[in-house]
């Protein structure tokens, strides 16, 4: 499967890019076989399945292949709890960093707490509670170029909140890369 190039945007001089489109469950009844298969891979990645983690690392490495990331730390936006974060991102980040010759920032974002999943709570970590939920190793990130990664983006609010925090820690976020962007269908009256 080739990456979808239509999910590009440049906000505040920072590149944000999603490789694929993600179709919410309610629309899958009318989706193509390819879209259903893609959504399954994305969900399996979120669940920490080994094959899906390797697939995601391979796809993201292809998308990043022309960039020099030797002085860039790759970090994933924290999942809802430590267990989920470790299952989803620990091996993925290691694999991706090895493929693109980047610094692995996984161990420098420590998830301490638990938050309700964003698609359930609609809380994008904009409140002060984010400081209790995860810890950023400021000594590691100060002055470093950073590539932020997440699985699925819908509105971008969670990514924006995380980027603000990591930049406040002294990082220079160069780009945000998402495995997929939620496809929205507008109702016509």
Dihedrals phi, psi of 44, to nearest 5 degrees: -65, -35
Q: Is the dihedral of CA 92, 98, 100, 103 positive or negative?
A: positive
pLDDT for position 25 = 85
Range from 110-124, 129-143, 159-173 carrying the lowest mean pLDDT: 110-124
pLDDT for position 115 = 62
DSSP bridge partners of 104:
74
Residue 38 has pLDDT above 90, yes or no: yes
**pTM score, whole prediction:** 0.83
Domain ranges of the chain: 10-182
In angstroms, what CA-CA distances link 8 with 5, 11, 31, 38, 145? 7, 10, 22, 19, 20
- The average pLDDT across 34-49 equals 95
Could you tell me if 74 and 97 are in contact, meaning their C-beta atoms sit under 8 angstroms apart? Answer: yes
Let me know if domain 10-182 sits in CATH 3.40.50.2020: yes
pLDDT, one tens digit per residue, over 56-90 is: 999 999 999 999 999 999 999 999 899 999 999 99
């Amino acid at each position: 499967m080739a990456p979808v190039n239509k999910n590009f945007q440049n906000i505040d001089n920072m590149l944000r890019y999603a490789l694929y489109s993600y179709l919410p469950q309610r629309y899958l009844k009318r989706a193509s076989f390819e879209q259903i298969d893609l959504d399954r891979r994305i969900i399996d990645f979120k669940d920490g399945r080994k094959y899906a983690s390797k697939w995601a690392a391979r796809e993201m490495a292809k998308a990043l292949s022309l960039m020099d990331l030797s002085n860039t730390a790759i970090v994933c936006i924290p999942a809802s709890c430590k267990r989920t974060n470790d299952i989803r991102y620990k091996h993925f980040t290691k694999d991706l960093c090895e493929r693109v010759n980047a610094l692995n920032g996984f161990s420098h974002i420590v998830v301490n707490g638990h938050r309700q999943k964003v698609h359930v709570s609609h809380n994008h970590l904009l409140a002060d509670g984010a400081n209790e939920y995860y810890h950023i190793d400021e000594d590691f990130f100060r002055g470093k170029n950073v590539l932020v990664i997440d699985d699925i983006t819908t509105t971008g609010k969670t990514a924006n909140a995380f980027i603000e925090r990591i930049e406040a820690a002294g990082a220079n976020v160069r780009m945000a890369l998402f495995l997929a962007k939620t496809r929205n269908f507008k109702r016509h009256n």
